[in-house]
Structure 1
Amino acid sequence: MSEEVTTANPVPEAKPKAKVEKVKQPTVEELPFSEFIANHYLPALAKAFANLGITDLNLQLEDLQIKGNWKNQIRQFIIYFAKQDINGQKAFSCWDAGSQPSVIEPFLIDERKATLDLLVFAVVQRLNAQKWLAAN
């Protein structure tokens, strides 16, 4: 009886790769409230209005309110934030012809996570429902 002996070349053990921890950059929505609003939201909102042909839009952040107006303040709106959190409670009002807002309505109440695009889209849609932005 002959025994067959095979010698296998031992496979060198693979060295574990060094774990490189990537520092996750915060999304724009994770930035501090005032930085998000000033550097991202207001410019995105202005761009959305400009794309609709509205070039005289004035936007400003006062406390926790974003105030917007155009057509020499004939058309106006306010987005109210309950606290410095874009995912917190929000409200909206709009009015025209020099009157004051008569109704403050809940705004994006069913959304769990507000994104920049959603916040812009919601304002445009709400004002478009007033037939202020485009012919419906």
Structure 2
Amino acid sequence: MSETQEPVTAAEPKAEPKAAKKPKKEAIEDKPFGEFVHDHFLPALAKAFAEREYQDLELSFANNQLTGKWDDGQKQFTLYFPDGDIQGRKAFSESTNGVPASTIEPFLIDERKVSLDLLVFGVIQRINAQKWFGRN
């Protein structure tokens, strides 16, 4: 019987261990819903209104609904989060002169990933569409 020899190859150098990756900073949108709304969304929305010189904005958040009132309560909007999640379903309503909202509309339904900036932009855009910013 003849013996077969396997080709001899040089040992491959061992790969050096990669430096440990820094833990990825948690996105603020990944925080618990209530914490996100109270710590980030409400202040960002108040700032956006202040930049448009509306200082009397009153924001409240309860039962997964964010309500904003200004102009001595004459203008109001409500942003609904029925799933208790910014990535879930959202709806929007607005009203004037203390009259209850007659229509609740879907809000940001085509967005795959909702961010803080997008939520603020969406609210400002909806209110601007009502011509509630500035003089008409």
User: Do they fold alike, i.e. is TM over 0.5?
Assistant: yes
Superposed, 1:1-12 pairs within 5 Å as none
Query: Who is 2:87 aligned against?
Result: 87
Question: What secondary structure sits across from 2:22 in the alignment?
Answer: coil
Q: Distance in 1 between matches of 2:15 and 2:77?
A: 61
Aligned to 2:109: 109
Residue equivalent to 2:7: none
Which amino acid in 1 is paired with 2:56? D
Q: Give the Cα separation in 2 of the matches to 1:69 and 1:29.
A: 24
Aligned partners of 1:134 and 1:109: how far apart in 2? 27
| 3-state secondary structure, aligned to 1:29 | helix
Aligned counterpart, 2:8: none
How many angstroms apart in 2 are the aligned matches of 1:21 and 1:89? Answer: 35
> Which residue in 1 is equivalent to 2:130?
130
Amino acid at match of 1:71: D
List runs of 5+ in structure 1 lacking aligned partners: 1-12
Query: 1:54 maps to which residue?
Result: 54
1:63 matched to which residue of 2?
63
Q: Which runs of 4+ in 1 moved over 2 A?
A: none
What is the CA distance between 1:21 and its match in structure 2? 3.2
State how 1:5-84 maps to structure 2 within 5 Å. 16-84=16-84
Cα deviation code 1:1-37 (max 9, x no counterpart):
xxxxxxxxxxxx6871443132112101111100100
Give SS of 2:91's match: strand
AA of the residue aligned to 1:123: V
1:129 corresponds to which letter in structure 2? A
- 1:52 deviates by 0.3
Root mean square deviation, CA, Å: 1.5
Percent identity reads: 49
Deviation (angstroms), 1:94? 0.2
CA–CA separation in structure 2 for the residues paired with 1:111 and 1:103: 21
TM-score normalized by the length of structure 1 = 0.86
Corresponding residue of 1:9: none
The one-letter code of the counterpart of 1:106 is: P
Structure 1 Cα separation of the partners of residues 111 and 135 of structure 2: 28
